Amino acid sequence: MKIVPIPILIAAALSMSSLCASPALAATTAASTATAHDGHKDFDFLFGTWRTHYEILRHPMSNSHNWYGCDGTSIVRPFWGDSGNLEDGDLHCPTRTIGGLTLRMYNSASHQWTLWWGTRKLGLVPPPQVGRFDANGVGDFYSNDTASNLKLPAAYAGKAVIVRFRWTLRSGDHPHFEQAFSADNGKTWETNWTTVYTRVPPSTKGVWNAAQ
């Protein structure tokens, strides 16, 4: 997989953020508001090389419990003195393989992170997630999206949907990620994607050096 140079990704993200910013974005929950905590090193725990295991809900927001698993590799590199990082990874699923990346950038004025997810096929996919880590080490990041963009069932047509990314560091050096949707302004959430990371040696083959 060809790695897109970081300056190009940053320029694309900054350009797209000016088009996709929503006045309500930072107001979705208290966790996405500005804070005085200097969090520019809050993602340091994720730097390195990983094996990844994904559990993905096949039909989100459908009262479905049909999950499937994917496995992959991932490497996370810092830039800007830990105020930014780039995750280059892959997902090997039952019916497809995805080359993905996440670009994370820290705003020293608001003390918030902006997270951009993208794939080799689609590029950076708006809107980005915005948020921070709390005093307990839980990171919540939110965006306002639409049912049509998320390909949700027809029953949600025209409804606004909040997307939440949540990061936690579990015992044994196993970072845990989950994605959840809410169609009732954050009153209830449905988790539809989880990822568990397991650290491996830097020499491990992955998407960045001839994927296995």
Give 51-73 pLDDT, tens digit per residue: 999 999 999 999 999 999 999 99
Domain assignment of residue 61, yes or no: yes
Q: What is the CATH number of the domain that holds 139?
A: 2.40.128.20
Angle of CA points 137, 140, 142, to nearest 5°: 165
Asked, for residue 24, whether it belongs to a domain, the answer is yes
Report CA 79 to chain centroid distance, whole Å: 18
CA distances from 130 to 22, 92, 190 (A): 11, 28, 19
CA dist 55 and 190 (Å) reads: 14
Per cent of the chain over pLDDT 70 is: 79
Quick one: pLDDT at residue 133? 95
Where does 126-190 have alpha helices with state H?
none
Write down the pLDDT at residue 200.
93
Query: Would 210 be classed as within a structural domain?
Result: no
Residue 207: inside a domain, yes or no? no
Average pLDDT over residues 130-136: 94
Answer yes or no: is 160 within a domain.
yes
Q: What domain range includes position 39?
A: 6-199
Amino acid at 120: R
Looking at residues 146-161, what average pLDDT do you find? 94
Residue 108 lies in a domain: yes
64 near 57, Cβ under 8 Å? Answer: yes
Please state, in angstroms and rounded to a whole number, the distance separating the CA atoms of residues 114 and 128.
6
- Number of independent structural domains in the chain: 1
Q: 């997630």: which residue's tokens?
A: 129
Confidence at residue 34, expressed as pLDDT on a 0 to 100 scale: 60
CB 164 within 8 A of CB 31: no
Q: How confident is the model at residue 4 (pLDDT cuts 50, 70, 90)?
A: very low
Q: How far is CA 111 from CA 30, 32, 130, in A?
A: 14, 10, 10
